[in-house]
Amino acid sequence: MNDEAGLATVLLAMFAGAIRVSTPFLFVSLGETLTEKSGRINLGLEGTLVFGAMSGYAISYHTGSPWFGVLVAGLGGTVFGAIHGYLCKLPRVNDIAIGIALMLFGTGIAFFFGKAYIQPQAPRLPSISFGFWAENPSVRQALEINPLFLIGLFLAIFLWWGLKNTRWGLVVRTTGDSAPAALALGIDVDRVRLLSTMAGGFFAGVGGSFLSLYYPGSWTEGLSSGQGLMAVALVIFARWNPLYCFAAALLFGAAGALGPALQSIGISRGYHFFNAAPYIMTLLIMIASVSPKRSLKGAPGELSITK
């Protein structure tokens, strides 16, 4: 095999892998961005993601419609978001603690109901072929783009635009940055946070359904392995900016695809090391981009970690 073809294969595999792997990260981090912009942290999204994967798969199996599965996964996430949003407004309740409780609850309940769906095959989400023009089969395959990725891309742009150019965007940012200011404007802070957490939960649920309905494409208990938590960290990395979330998710996906891509051309030395690439990369970028002299730019002022 000559080197050039090998490199092209790796790059193509990384490209396809980036899009595949990044989709759940993208949805969860967009949801978390919205929630955190309103001033709360929802660490429970890992649980929402797993529950979304399970419920999406189950519904797709029973109804035969994967898109209906996606919707139900999102609605399940909305319910988790509503529980989080409601509990956090009670006095002396900490959002991080509630988040951890909900993470365990979501995973637990998904495992409980999910036992029956580990074996059966459910219909999966279709992909859209953008590679019809290409002759090379591997290019064609790399251009099989899943529709959720595209929806996520539009969602990122929409959120970025909406946070600046719509009333609800300004209201969410106001609530997240200064609750006293929001109160003085007559904004119902708890309600804004409840709704933002519910919307965030919806996105995370949809991200979960991607895992079971597209890639890897079946329901197992080890499906998520902490992707929901990583996505929450990604939000800080992306400085609470939806467009950066998109970029960060892609970068993360590409780094994650490095190991399998190298393996596909027969390089398997250091496979586990390359699998850890996203984490190492995140750490390095984090170290390079923070400074002890200033606080995190863009951090909503009401977050319990920055307050």
Partner 1 sequence: MAVLQSRPEGARRAIGLETIGMTKAFGPLVALDDVSIRVRPGSFHALLGENGAGKSTLVKCVMGFYQPTSGSALVNDREVSIPNPKAAHALGIGMVYQHFTLVPSLTAAENLVISRADTPAVIDWAKERKALEAFLETTPFKVPLDMPVSGLSAGEKQKLEILKQLYLDQSFLILDEPTSVLTPDEADEVLGLLRGMTEAGELTILMITHKFREVTAYADEVTVLRRGRMVGSGKVSDLSIDDMSRMMIGDTAIRESAARKAHSGEPLKLEIAGLFADDDEELPALEAVNLKVRCGEILGIAGVSGNGQSELIQVLSGQRLPSDGRIFIDGKPYEPERKLMDSFKVFGFSEEPLRNAAVPRMSVAENMAFRTFDKVPISPFRGWLSPSPMLKKARDLIAAYRVKTPSTEEPIENLSGGNVQRAILAREISGEVEVLIVANPCFGLDFASVAEIRAQIMDQRNRGAAVLLVSEDLDEILELADTVAVMSEGRITYTSPMDRTDRATIGHAMAGHH
Binding residues (CB under 8 A) for partner 1: these are 164-168, 170-171, 173-174, 177-178, 180-186, 291-295, 298, 300-301
**Which CB, 46 or 302, lies closer to partner 1?**
302
First to last CA, the chain: 57
AA identity, residue 19: I
Least separation, in Å, of the C-beta of 164 and partner 1?
Answer: 8
CA atoms within 13 A on the CB side of 173: 15
Least separation, in Å, of the C-beta of 151 and partner 1?
Answer: 21
Helical axes 242-264 vs 277-289, angle rounded to 10°: 140
Least separation, in Å, of the C-beta of 87 and partner 1?
Answer: 21
Sign of CA dihedral 75, 178, 94, 245: positive
Q: Which residues pair with 128 in a beta bridge?
A: 145
Least separation, in Å, of the C-beta of 230 and partner 1?
Answer: 26
Report yes or no: 149 and 22 within 8 Å, Cβ to Cβ.
yes
Residues with Cβ within 8 Å of 222's Cβ and at least 6 positions away in sequence, in order, are none
| Cα–Cα distance, 39 to 150 (Å, whole number) | 28
**Which CB, 92 or 269, lies closer to partner 1?**
92
**Which CB, 32 or 46, lies closer to partner 1?**
32
**Which CB, 23 or 33, lies closer to partner 1?**
33
Token pair for residue 276?
Answer: 């850890």
Least separation, in Å, of the C-beta of 181 and partner 1?
Answer: 4
Report yes or no: 48 and 77 within 8 Å, Cβ to Cβ.
yes
Least separation, in Å, of the C-beta of 19 and partner 1?
Answer: 31
Least separation, in Å, of the C-beta of 30 and partner 1?
Answer: 19
**Which CB, 116 or 183, lies closer to partner 1?**
183
Helical axes 227-237 vs 45-63, angle rounded to 10°: 130
AA identity, residue 16: A
Cα 90 off chain centre by: 27
**Which CB, 134 or 170, lies closer to partner 1?**
170
**Which CB, 114 or 300, lies closer to partner 1?**
300
**Which CB, 114 or 242, lies closer to partner 1?**
242
CA atoms within 13 A on the CB side of 104: 5
Least separation, in Å, of the C-beta of 177 and partner 1?
Answer: 5
